[in-house]
Amino acid sequence: MPLALASPRPLLRPSAWPGVLLTLAVAVISILLSQVLPGVSALIIAIVAGIVVANLASLPLSLAPGLSFAAKKFLRAGIVLLGLQVALGDLLALGAPMLAVVVAVVGGGVLGTLAIGRALGVDKGLTLLVACGFSICGAAAVAAAAGVTDPDEEHEERTITAIALVVLCGTLMIAAVPAVAAALQLDPETAGLWAGASIHEVAQVVAAGGAVGGGAALTVAVIVKLARVLMLAPVMAVIGLQQRHAGASEGKRPPLVPLFVLGFLAMVLLRSVVPLPAGVLDLGNLFQTGLLAAAMFALGTGVKLRSLFQVGVRPLALAALSTLLVAALALGGVLLAT
């Protein structure tokens, strides 16, 4: 009698479809709104929408499986596709001095923020998420770090708090960087380099880069920002190694390097080695933004404003000091490099 072959397990269970479709719909709306709201990324719109919905309405329980799927799977897939934005050739064109500045900003920003968090007595997990978000690439870096340190989402409130702080401080930087650059009489290119090296979100960098000068300033701002995005891989790998070392004493063995980090690096190599058509890159960017926006909405639905308002003053102080630290490191480094 022939053996019956087991049917493959579906990637997405039927019970998850309602929640998944909702997150995708919100992602589409967020992308459209971001086109008419300069400096506001679709990710930020989506997470704010999730928070608003969760606190003004009672979401049906039938949406829970899909929201959970989007928060985990879409998040990692979006970070993988983020690698398609980074071309090594463009980054190398910045030159060794400016690349050294990027490494110093990310490394100094992460380590400095961790030290500030310890001094202020802020939760270690939250401090690490703030350090990554403010030093690397905003909400995507916060979510990536949370995916490594809290894969089971046992401390989701940390992720939401860190992203909220990114939104607040990054938005203030859109106005602050051009104003300070004008006061210091920085030329447009130098101001663009500083914007790319200091501001949290890519969309925020675009807004500030356009404000400090013409196309040249905006171009260098975005390239420097993408160099910081590339630092996501080594930083997440180091955090993953630390988690693996800590887990070994508890009988846990997390992956040596998270798979989504390897996927991110694979996309960077693909973009750098293969001459991909502009249409493919645009499509990849659209999918990446959509997936991350869907994940952000799902994360936002888990936030209760009452608990967010109870965060206290110390995380706000940490965010402010981290922003100043990253901005100072970036400005000093850019002035030395140029």
What is the per-residue pLDDT across 84-141, written as a single tens digit (0 to 9) for each?
A: 989 999 999 999 999 999 999 999 999 999 999 999 999 999 999 999 999 998 888 9
| CA-to-CA dists, residue 187 to 158, 217, 230, angstroms | 39, 9, 26
Side-chain half-sphere of 102: how many Cα atoms within 13 Å? 26
The verdict on residue 215 lying in a domain is yes
The verdict on residue 50 lying in a domain is no
The verdict on residue 122 lying in a domain is yes
| Total domain count, the chain | 1
The predicted pLDDT at position 113 comes to 98
The verdict on residue 139 lying in a domain is yes
The predicted pLDDT at position 199 comes to 93
Instruction: Give residue 166's pLDDT band: very low, low, confident or very high (50, 70, 90).
Output: confident
The predicted pLDDT at position 18 comes to 94
- Over 50: is that where the pLDDT of 261 sits? yes
Helix (H, G, I), strand (E, B) or coil at 145: helix
Q: How far apart are CA 31 and CA 39, in angstroms?
A: 12
Q: How far apart are CA 326 and CA 112, in angstroms?
A: 9
The predicted pLDDT at position 6 comes to 47
The verdict on residue 5 lying in a domain is no
The verdict on residue 140 lying in a domain is yes
- Over 70: is that where the pLDDT of 83 sits? yes
> What is the span of the domain harbouring residue 178?
87-288+305-337
The predicted pLDDT at position 253 comes to 60
Tokens standing for residue 123? 């939760």
Q: How far apart are CA 201 and CA 126, in angstroms?
A: 18
Q: How far apart are CA 124 and CA 116, in angstroms?
A: 11
The predicted pLDDT at position 1 comes to 43
Mean pLDDT check: name the lowest of 5-9, 261-265, 334-338: 5-9
> Which pTM value belongs to this model?
0.82
The predicted pLDDT at position 256 comes to 64
